[in-house]
Amino acid sequence: MSQNYKSSHSNIVVMDKIACSVNSLYERYPYPSLPIRNEHDLSGKLHANIMSKILSTAGIDQSFLSGKEILDAGCGTGEKSCYFAYYGAVVTAIDLSCSSLSKGKKLAEKFNLIVDFNRCDIMDFKAQKKFDHIFCLGVLHHTNDPYGRFRKLCDMCKPGGTITIGLYNRYGRFLHRAKRAWIHLNAGEDIERRMSFVESSIYGRKFKNAHEQAYAADKYANPYESYHTINEVIDWFKKNDITCTGLYPNSDIGIFRSFLTQLKWLKNRNGFFIISGRKIER
C-alpha cells in the first residue's frame, strides 16, 4: 500500500504504509532537535558526544571532510549535515519529514552554512553524482526494506568512498522491545496517547525541552522498527563490495560478531550500533 503526500515544497512524495506512519511521528516530533546554540555546540559538543565516534568507524576525522561530497541520508533536523558543512564538506541531505527539514534549514542559515536539503525517500533519490562519504544513521530500521535502501546507498558511493550506517541490534534491543510492548499494551497505537503514557509512567514528569520530547518519541512512540545483527550487516557489505572499516561501540569486529558478545548488549540502553565500510576500487 502506498500513499501520496504533498509537502510544503510542492512536490509529491510517494510513501508506503510504514513510511507514512513513521513520518507522521517525525512531523510532530522532529528528531533529534539537539540544542545547538552556538559554534561550540556544533563543532565541540556534537563532535565529542557522537560525531567523533561516527567518523572513527569510517577511519576519518574533521580534517578529511573539506571538499568531500557527503550524503546525509535521513538527516532529520540537520545537525550532522551542518557539522559536515561547517568543516568544509559539500553536503546533500535528504529526509521525508518537512518539519525536520525545516529545522535543518534554519540551523544551516543560523551558521551561514550551505546544505542542499531535499525531501524524498532514499529509494527515490536520484543523485547526479556519487559521494565520497555516505551517512545513514538510525534510518534504515524504520523502513519496509532496509537492505534495499542500503544497496541504493552503495550504488551512490564512489569507489574508495565510505558508507556508514546505524541500526538497532537484535539482541541489545531485546529489553527495550519488551518495554515498547508494555507501552503498546497500555496506550495502543495512537502516538499522542503513547507519548502521554511515556511522560507519566516512564519519565514521571513533563518533558524538559524539544530534544527530550523528540528523543522520547523516537524511542518509545515510533510505530515501526526492525532489528539487525552484526553478521547480517557484514553480509550486506560483502554482497556490495564493501570492506568493513570500523564498528561502534566495539572496535574489534571479529569478537563482536559472536553471539555471546552481542548478548552483552542487553545492558546497552539503546541497543544501537554504528558500522562503516569502504567501497572496493576495481
Q: Quick one: pLDDT at residue 254?
A: 58
Q: Quick one: pLDDT at residue 175?
A: 85
Confidence of residue 40 (pLDDT cuts 50, 70, 90): very high
Q: Quick one: pLDDT at residue 257?
A: 54
Coil, helix or strand for 272? strand
Bigger pLDDT: 7 or 35? 35
Bigger pLDDT: 36 or 5? 36
Tell me which of 50-64, 82-96, 230-244, 251-265 is least confident: 251-265
DSSP 239: H
Asked if pLDDT for residue 2 goes beyond 80, the answer is no
| Summary mean pLDDT of the chain | 90
Joined together, the cell numbers standing for residue 20 give 507514512
Average pLDDT of 90-106? 98
Joined together, the cell numbers standing for residue 135 give 551517512
Q: Quick one: pLDDT at residue 266?
A: 56
Fold of 2-171+226-264+272-279: Rossmann fold (3.40.50)
- Per DSSP, what are the bridge partners of residue 119? 95
Chain position carrying cell 542542499: 116
Q: Quick one: pLDDT at residue 252?
A: 56
Q: Which helix (H) or strand (E) holds 176?
A: helix 174-187
Question: For 167, left (φ over 0), alpha (ψ -120 to 50), or beta?
Answer: beta
Average pLDDT of 90-108? 98
231-268 per-position pLDDT tens digit = 899 999 999 999 999 999 865 555 455 555 666 655 55
Bigger pLDDT: 255 or 272? 272
Joined together, the cell numbers standing for residue 39 give 559554534
DSSP 184: H
Average pLDDT of 23-38? 97
Q: Quick one: pLDDT at residue 264?
A: 61
- Residues 6 or more apart whose Cβ sits within 8 Å of residue 152: 122, 123, 125
Q: Quick one: pLDDT at residue 282?
A: 75
- Per DSSP, what are the bridge partners of residue 91? 70, 115
d(CA 256, CA 249): 9
Asked if pLDDT for residue 7 goes beyond 60, the answer is no
Confidence of residue 134 (pLDDT cuts 50, 70, 90): very high
Can you give the residue ranges of every domain in the chain? 2-171+226-264+272-279, 174-221
Q: Quick one: pLDDT at residue 72?
A: 98
d(CA 229, CA 237): 13
156-188 per-position pLDDT tens digit = 999 999 999 999 998 888 888 999 999 999 999
- Per DSSP, what are the bridge partners of residue 41? none
Q: Quick one: pLDDT at residue 193?
A: 97
Q: Quick one: pLDDT at residue 160?
A: 97
Best CA proximity match to 122, nearest among 163, 55, 58, 72: 72
